[in-house]
Amino acid sequence: MNEATTQYWAQFLQQHPHAELYEAFSFAHTKELADELGSYVVNGKKTATCSAKVLYDKLGDPLPQVGMYSIVLNGDEQPIAIIETTEVTIVPMNEVSEAFAVAEGEGTYDDWWRGHVAYFSETLPQHGEAFSDDMLLVCERFQRVK
């Protein structure tokens, strides 16, 4: 974490001394998209996200847990919000509900599907994995708390 993120978290801990930090991250790998999706979190339009479970397994990363906190970063890697995980489910991609897809804040279910097929089709091969429409996703709902 950079200094700004460390200070942002320290300020949050003053009000929430028992909070556990899961991670600090942006929702995209490009500055523009990270700024856009981060703004959706700030304005309440984005209350969910998902990731490929195979990457958690392959990289040895722990799954998000209900009650954990994450710092959302913008495209300049500056903190813009803190979110609390409120629900975690593991679901095949082709069984993700329309309500969940819309909660990701990026448009309709069809928009969500197209965007995620494109993203996973590009990202997974970089890790030696292949996209399939029934691959497991870690679906996380959250609320903005700062």
2-49 pLDDT, tens digit per residue, is 999 999 999 999 999 999 898 999 998 899 999 999 999 999 999 999
Res 69: pLDDT: 97
CB hemisphere CA count around 32 (13 angstroms)? 0
Res 28: pLDDT: 86
Res 11: pLDDT: 95
3-state helix, strand, coil in the chain (%, to 5): 40, 25, 35
Q: Are strands 48-52 and 21-25 parallel, antiparallel or unpaired?
A: unpaired
Question: Measuring CA to CA, which residue among 58, 25, 75 is closest to residue 124?
Answer: 58
- pTM for the model: 0.93
The vertex-37 CA angle with 137 and 123, nearest 5°, equals 45
